[in-house]
Amino acid sequence: MSVLRDSFGRAIRDLRVSLTDRCNFRCFYCLPHGEPPIAPKEKMLSYEEIEYVCGIFVSLGIEKLRLTGGEPMMRRDIETIIRKLVKFKADGLQDLALTTNGYFLPDRARGLKSAGLDRVTISLDSLKRNVFKQMTGVDVLEKVLAGIAAAKDAGLDPIKINAVIVRGHNEDEVADFAAFAREHDVKMRFIEFMPLDSGHEWDRKDVFSGREIYDRINERFPLVKLDVKRGSETSARYRFADGAAGEIGIIAPVTEPFCGACSRIRLTADGQIRTCLFSTVEHSLRDVVRSGATREEIVEFIESVVYKKEPRHFINDPGFVAPSRSMSFIGG
């Protein structure tokens, strides 16, 4: 089987596919200014186009597909595309996952599992109703908690919970999140605040570092680093020293970059390949596909784009320029 490699020799195994740029939340670190300028429907990739290009990516060595957004479950009949993509497991796909805010899971978790989805990652930035509302712009904490329970009942394991930790907002809840992981046997992932907000108001002083996150948890629940090779994983992983259920992961792209082993690329909902979360350049796979290009020509285009993948992000450089599009457009 072919293997996609960039100019630095990194093998690309993980494709994040954004299904929509729409979202029913308004998280301040993503969409602080209300409605985003939604891309016209005709520019969005159809399910048939997503299926076609994902099949090509899998033939090129992609082993993990993650469906993202926006909120991917706002795309109609998401179960349909899951059923299409799960067929690629016969061709080398090993993992089909979904990142969601959890709002729709209470009613749809079982349907997602039946369609062939392996697992979910659910965003949960606070366990306090008032803080959750302040960070997400919506008052639906109980609905998200019910979504986590529904995902667990449906067998969408392992369940990962993502919390973006922002100084002055929710850093006081870090150890409480660890307690939540222990109680519910989930993999809790803490993410440093990154410059991906639509208002471009990110400030380094608001970053609560991975080291600080670790110290807060370890003080209350002593941690032991998992004896696993990190490889291209984004998180440093820990178990609880007392043997309790659950797991802790710390993703620190600002203070502890892990670009050297990056294996990811992204496909936006409107068909643009992004070689890095912080890319300032996009490459239109949609235009190539719709031009009538042959499969071989599409493969050649994908390989040429991947070869241009950046060596690292440049957040910590004096001349850093944030991406023009927020996380809701890029896909998590």
pLDDT band at 40 (very low <50, low <70, confident <90, very high): confident
Mean pLDDT lowest among 112-116, 144-148, 253-257: 253-257
pLDDT band at 194 (very low <50, low <70, confident <90, very high): confident
pLDDT reading at 82 higher than 60: yes
For 104-124, what is the mean pLDDT?
A: 98
| pLDDT at residue 325, rounded to an integer | 54
Tokens 């999140």 belong to residue: 177
| Homologous superfamily of 4-330 | Aldolase class I (3.20.20.70)
**Residue 56: exposed, middle, or buried by beta-carbon count in 10 A (0-12, 13-18, 19+)?**
middle
DSSP 210-270: HHHHHHHHHHHS-EEE--S--TT-SSEEEEETT--S-EEEEE-TTTS--GGG--EEEE-TT
pLDDT band at 32 (very low <50, low <70, confident <90, very high): low
Q: pLDDT tens digits, residue range 205-224?
A: 889 999 999 999 999 999 99
Q: pLDDT tens digits, residue range 231-262?
A: 556 789 999 999 999 999 999 888 876 676 88
Greater confidence (63 vs 34) lies with 63
At position 306, the amino acid (one-letter code) is V
Percentage of the chain modeled with pLDDT above 90: 72
pLDDT reading at 47 higher than 80: yes
CA distance 198 to 195: 9
CA distance 236 to 251: 7
pLDDT reading at 195 higher than 80: no
| pLDDT at residue 262, rounded to an integer | 86
Phi, psi of 10 (to 5 degrees): -75, 130
Domain residues of the chain, as ranges? 4-330
Greater confidence (229 vs 142) lies with 142
Q: pLDDT tens digits, residue range 302-317?
A: 999 999 988 766 566 5
| pLDDT at residue 36, rounded to an integer | 55
| pLDDT at residue 280, rounded to an integer | 77
pLDDT band at 323 (very low <50, low <70, confident <90, very high): low
Phi, psi of 163 (to 5 degrees): -125, 120
pLDDT reading at 320 higher than 80: no
| pLDDT at residue 37, rounded to an integer | 54
CA distance 95 to 89: 8
215-230 in b/e form (b: 16+ CB < 10 A) is: ebbbeebebeeeeeee
CA distance 157 to 115: 15
